[in-house]
Structure 1
Amino acid sequence: MKTLIRLVQFILSEIAELCSLISLAIMAIGFYTILPILVFFALLAFIFAGNWSWLLGVLIYVLIACAVFLIFKAIPEFLNFILGILLNEREENKKIYKKYEQWFESARNQEYERRRKDQEEYQKQQDREKQYWKEKSQEYSYYRHQQEYSREQYERKNNDYSNFDYQSTNDGEIIQKFEEYLAVLKIDKNGEINEDVIKKAYRREIKKVHPDRNSDQTANAKTQELNMVKEFLDNQLEYYLMQRRKG
């Protein structure tokens, strides 16, 4: 029923608007045609007879034309207002606005929840990365300590003119770690090993994981790991070569 009434409202509104436009067009033509004639005779009456009645008639004519114009413009609006009351459009508009408020609140909550989850995931990623580097730092500190201890043992045995056997100390772990890091840089432990070989291998591998060329989230972690590997190999190179010659 409401659909039919709305259809009738639309048709009547269009008809009223069309009639209003036609009437206004006719009135405009008549107004702008008659007004100059009335003004002309009013001026003649005023100049030659001193009669104000024609000027007053022109003023009344203009006021009536304006009133008719406003009435024709108001007819479609008045018709829509009456039909709006019959259709209870105010309540319909309230329902529509309430639905919009509910949709907006739901969309805002979803956006907030999405951002909250993204922030939690980012924080977890940061925590995992910190934990990873904390473990790597502890591991590196341990091997540095082992290195210092092994060197002290080596120097002590050399001073005592004894044969140094790195298998009796923890040097075996350092040698093993050195060879594991060689594998990280893809260096053959049985081939030639020197500073240039390590430097070239490091540059080759760092290009693969550098953050500027790699969008992987673990690129920073891999870069730092390679830096740590190179530092360890540089520090242990002389010692490793010495032990390999002894072996």
Structure 2
Amino acid sequence: MENNTEGKLFLVPTPIGNLEDMTFRAIRVLKEADIILAEDTRTSAPLLKHFGIDKKAYSHHQHNEHKATAEIIKFLKEGKNVALISDAGTPAISDPGFFLVREVLKEDLAVECLPGATAFVPALVNSGLPCDAFVFEGFLPVKKGRQTRMKKLAEEERTIILYESPHRLLKTLTEFIAYFGAERQASVSRELTKMYEETVRGTIEEIKSHFENNILKGEFVICIAGAEEIKKNKKNAKDI
């Protein structure tokens, strides 16, 4: 790490399932960091132990990040290097991190994000849907604003990517049928990089039918064809 008067905040991606996806650089940065912040220390402890990182991690999550940020900035100004990890994937992508990054940058302090695991990228590339332009929505609102968001996304021309939990998947797919149409092409991936990784492709109706009769476990990534793709398919069908 650079030897500056002020420290640097490092955002360190961690595997989303397969420990072999941890990078050499990520391990080095965590070993050299003065302070490690983790979304859930109970989750990060086995990971750190597995890679021989003998350091205590301190909790940094959505419930304490506002209060803790001032102290973290103080550490950075004292020359300490701080590494932030989430439970899985890249910090700040549907995980804590954005607020801390914004406040650190306001103080004109250095921030560096390492490349690494993010669930939506392999799900998109593996979906068979256009990857040249896409919109990442993360988790949809559970209640307030959900219908408004659905209506807007129904007109979105780019490929749409969302995260969903197992207990809400079927409800969400049912809503997609109502707003997007049963025949809209989609892809749903679960347990990415793990032993039981699965990707189901087809119409939203077909995918819903599959998961009504199969196990609903793991974290889910949903990719949906954009409205522009539907227009292209209809035009091609007319030209045939």
Same fold (TM over 0.5): no
Please, what TM-score do these two structures have when normalized by structure 2? 0.19
Point out the structure with the larger strand share.
Answer: 2
Q: Which structure is richer in relative contact order (CA contacts within 8 A, separation 6 or more)?
A: 2
* Structure number, greater radius of gyration: 1
Please, what TM-score do these two structures have when normalized by structure 1? 0.19
